[in-house]
Amino acid sequence: MSNESEAGVEVRKCCCYFCHNNCGVLAYVKDGELLRFEGDPDHPASSGGLCCRGNLQLQHLHHPDRVNHPLKRIGPKGSGQWESISWEQAIDEIGAKLEQIRAESGAEAVATAGGTLRTDDWARRRFMNAFGSPNSFHNAHLCWIPTFMVEMTVYGWCPFEIDVGQARCIVLWGQNPGASSMPAQAGFTNLQRENGLKVIVIDPRYTESAAKADLWLPIRPGSDLALALAWINVIITEKLHNADFVKNYCEGFKELRKHVKDFTPEWAAELTWLDPEQIRAGARMYAANTPGNIQWAPAVDQQGPPAGECMHARAILRALTGNLDGPGADILTGPAQDYLTDEEMEANDLLPEEQKGKQLGADKYKLTTWPGYTLIAEQSKKFWGKAPTAEWMCEAHPPSVYRAILSGKPYQVRALLVSATNPVNSYGNSREVLAALEKVEFMTCCDYFLTPTAMLADYVLPIAGSMERPSVHTNYGVSDALVASQRAIAPLYQRKTDFDFWRLLGLRLGQAEHWPWETLEDAYFYQIANLAENFYGSESYDAFVEWPRFHYPEREFNRYLEHGFGTPSGKVELKSSILEQLGYPPLPVYVPPAESETANPELAEEFPLVLTTAGGFMPYHHSEHFNLPSVRFLAHEPYTDINPRTAGHYGIKNGDWVWIETRRGRIRQKANLTEAVMPRVVMTQRGWWFPERDMRLPELGGCLESNANVLTSTEDAHCDPLGGSWANRGLLCRIYKAE
């Protein structure tokens, strides 16, 4: 605990919790009150910077609409009729209901939906494992997790860490750090200027990052697989691959060479809307400027049917060029060896095999459920001694859970425990999700505010915010590094952390032996004790945060020279034996987007434009912060990007309200005319709801009116067969002026 010169003022090393970057914050506290805060200049990720969200800690902490006490619904669902109760009563009544459901229908009848890395997800998984249900899930199917698992089958770990400081080229594949991670964009631009770094941006929109790129490839949304296959073709055909690396450390090259011979740039041009020479230029720039990086972004994860095959093809590109685990390349860190990983905290051994077999979606989407995770975890333990986290990497398929609530097939899901997420705005096919939330027999929500989802709950639990809780950031539990932060103050009112919720509920349901920690700090220190005590001499969690606060093990490059790769063959498996064992193609095959003008010409006549629901946009994060006045001032209405020529064809002017429609439904947003998008592309904002409106049913804060997920598709035919991710991008749509 640091001291400031002002008497009685303590400086606490905290973090912002308003997105998963967890930027560092110095909080100035006196007599238990947060006086002020600023960015922490010594934080390894943010270096003292805070965005507009991070600067709203006090407004969020004292927001008049915060949920401050446990709420119990006393009127019809969605009526907004609540009574404040104690935590003791809430936990007892919730526990009793879950006991009843488990006794009558089995533990699998209870499911839980989670959010994005602002919670202790190992604690949620620990509770569910002890309870006996396999049906935990996040929106992670759209964000990195399928990529991680595909790359596990190819390399034996996911190379999510990049050594860009020594790289000669970086591919920003569907990523725009110029808006989403300004420190990263500044770093890339500096490296371009100082080291000659080549930057390739693959994006249908002329983004902030595209404006700084050496090569911009304005691809048709959803056609990334065709581009990746064509790049493989060019690199092999023109002998641009790293022949030594491929010969000595890769399996399946001969089969791959034969497999991709027809995936020429000319073949891909029609599908991607790129010129063949643009495709060649990108492949040559990446292959010729080694070492290099391919920076992950969620764009590919959100494309539905072709997603898994594209992840596989993109993984092969790294291997062909030898851009793996060396200086300037994409690094295979492996799991943390210096502290307990999240997987080691999850107590996965408590879940019986019989229950694993009941996981919803595991019969169809095997890679990111227990069938695929079991194979990958066993192989990982053989090689690394540890497995990737099951929370995130091994989850029930969310659309399958919602459909089970509605249909009772393959069995009835009766309870949904929601933590740090607003599913009606965040998950695909929002109308179906809303119908499921209205129908589910029993629902609890852990949240800061009464979101549209929380308004449908039976109980709402008040959750501590970023200044009221500690945190340990380990990048979804799979990094070998960590950053730790303190809580600035004790939670106000009756707020508690999500860890407290799961622990208290576990105690109520007879799980006492699995919850030996009274506080979150106790649990964190248990997790990092080896590191804290033996590496740094820390005697408590707070002492570790004071110094050193973060741990980045010394990077070891080219470990495969001695140990090989963590796959069954010990080599990079261009032709994946694990995918083949699961019944999937061992080499990436071409799969068209969920909807396209080439595969669905009749549909394209009715819906002639191509939709992307895009990534997040500042100043919001997913469906958060719409009720913060300072944030809403910066972006107070929803906008859709439309090319001026397209708008002119439909009689739409800048600022007009327009309808954007797909086969699933339509939403209303304002037209933003810009040359940044191609004439055939429409790009909507996502996450929108309107907390200033009536939050009761049927309006629920207008949660469907401008919500891009009304347009997206989660039907099985539009989900990736490997991991189950659904189609948020590359869908067909039409637009017309809203009268």
The verdict on domain 601-737 having CATH code 2.40.40.20 is yes
What local confidence, expressed as pLDDT, does residue 435 receive? 98
> Which residue in 179, 218, 223, 225 sits closest to 201, CA to CA?
218
CB burial of 303-329 (b: ≥16 within 10 Å; e: otherwise) equals bbbbbbbbbbbbbbbbbbbbbbbbebb
Find out whether 122 and 523 touch, Cβ atoms under 8 Å: no
Q: Which residue has the tokens 């629902």?
A: 443
Which tokens go with 640?
């859709």
How confident is residue 1, by pLDDT bands cut at 50, 70 and 90? Answer: very low
Report whether pLDDT(614) > 70: no
Distance CA 447, CA 412 (A): 26
Tens-digit pLDDT profile for residues 101-157 = 999 999 999 999 998 777 889 999 999 999 999 999 998 899 889 999 999 999 999
Determine the pLDDT at residue 176: 85
Phi and psi at residue 217, in whole multiples of 5°? -110, 100
Average pLDDT rounded to a whole number, residues 212-229: 97
In whole angstroms, what separates CA 498 from the centre of its chain? 19
This prediction has a pTM of 0.95
Strands 639-642 and 681-684: antiparallel
Question: Cα separation of 70 and 312, whole Å?
Answer: 46
Quote the DSSP letter at residue 291. S
**233, 265 in Cβ contact below 8 A?**
yes
Mean pLDDT of 225-238: 98
If you search the block for the tokens 């001969």, which residue do you land on? 254
Model confidence at 189, pLDDT cuts 50, 70, 90, reads confident
Residue among 286, 176, 168 nearest 231 (CA): 286
Please check the confidence at residue 3 and state whether its pLDDT lies above 60.
no
What is the token pair recorded at 281? Answer: 């230029």
Instruction: Give the sheet arrangement for strand 471-473, strand by strand.
Output: 471-473, 482-485, 550-551
Separation CA 173–CA 299 (nearest Å): 8
CA distance 27 to 34: 7
> Which residues have CB under 8 Å from 38's CB, separation 6+?
25, 26, 48, 50
- Check residues 5 and 252 and name the one with the higher pLDDT: 252
Instruction: Report the C-alpha gap between 461 and 449 in whole angstroms.
Output: 10
Q: What is the pLDDT of residue 633?
A: 87
Tokens representing 343 are: 């997987």
Torsion sign, CA atoms 431, 433, 438, 444: negative
Is residue 53 predicted with pLDDT exceeding 90? no
Would the pLDDT of 4 be above 70? no
Give the model confidence (pLDDT) of 415-447 as tens digits: 999 999 999 999 999 999 999 999 999 999 999
pLDDT-above-70 percentage for the chain: 99
pLDDT at 22: 85
In whole numbers, what is the pLDDT of the chain averaged over residues?
Answer: 94
- What does the block give as tokens for 594? 């969920």
Look at residue 583 in the predicted model and tell me its pLDDT: 97
Give the least confident one: 116-130, 399-413, 643-657. Answer: 116-130
What DSSP assignment string belongs to 228-283?
HHHHHHHHHHTT-S-HHHHHHHEE-HHHHHHHTTT--HHHHHHHHT--HHHHHHHH
Contact 303, 728 (CB under 8 A): yes
Sign of CA dihedral 167, 169, 171, 176: positive
CA distance 683 to 601: 21
Q: What is the dihedral of CA 681, 687, 692, 698, to 10 degrees?
A: 100
Domain with CATH 2.40.40.20 in the chain: 601-737
Domain with CATH 3.40.228.10 in the chain: 159-331+566-581
CATH class of the domain whose range is 86-141+342-420+463-512 = alpha beta
Residue whose entry in the numeric block shows the structure tokens 């990736």: 720
DSSP 8-state code for residue 533: I
Strands 215-217 and 198-202: parallel
DSSP H or E run through 547: none
pLDDT, position 49:
87
* CATH architecture for residues 159-331+566-581: 3-Layer(aba) Sandwich (3.40)
Residue 400 has pLDDT above 90, yes or no: yes
- What is the number of other CB atoms lying within 10 angstroms of the CB of residue 254? 10
Q: Are 657 and 669 in contact (CB under 8 A)?
A: yes
Location of each CATH 3.40.50.740 domain in the chain:
86-141+342-420+463-512
Query: For residue 5, what pLDDT is reported?
Result: 59
For residue 456, pLDDT over 70 is answered with: yes
pLDDT digits (tens, 9 = 90+) for 458-467: 999 999 999 9
Q: Is the pLDDT score of 207 beyond 60?
A: yes
Neighbour-count burial for 692-706, b at 16+ CB within 10 Å, e otherwise: eeebebebbbbbbbb
Distance CA 565, CA 151 (A): 12
H or E stretch at 419: strand 415-419
Q: Per-residue pLDDT for 182 more than 80?
A: no
Residues 6+ apart with CB under 8 A from 569: 251, 577
Residues 671-718 pLDDT 10s: 999 999 999 999 999 899 999 999 999 999 999 999 999 999 999 999
Tokens read off for 229: 């296959």
DSSP 119-179: S-HHHHHHHHHHHT---EE-SGGGTTHHHHHHHHHHHSS---EE-GGG-SEEEEES--HHH
Helix (H) or strand (E) holding 511: none
Residue with tokens 């049906």: 135
Among residues 51, 62, 58, the alpha carbon closest in space to that of 183 is found at 51
CB atoms < 10 A from the CB of 620, how many?
A: 22
Contacts of 444 (CB under 8 A, 6+ apart): 94, 416, 417, 418, 457, 458, 459, 460, 461
The dihedrals phi and psi of 192, each to the nearest 5 degrees, come to -60, -45
> What's the sign of the alpha-carbon dihedral 444, 448, 449, 452?
negative
Best CA proximity match to 365, nearest among 398, 336, 388: 398
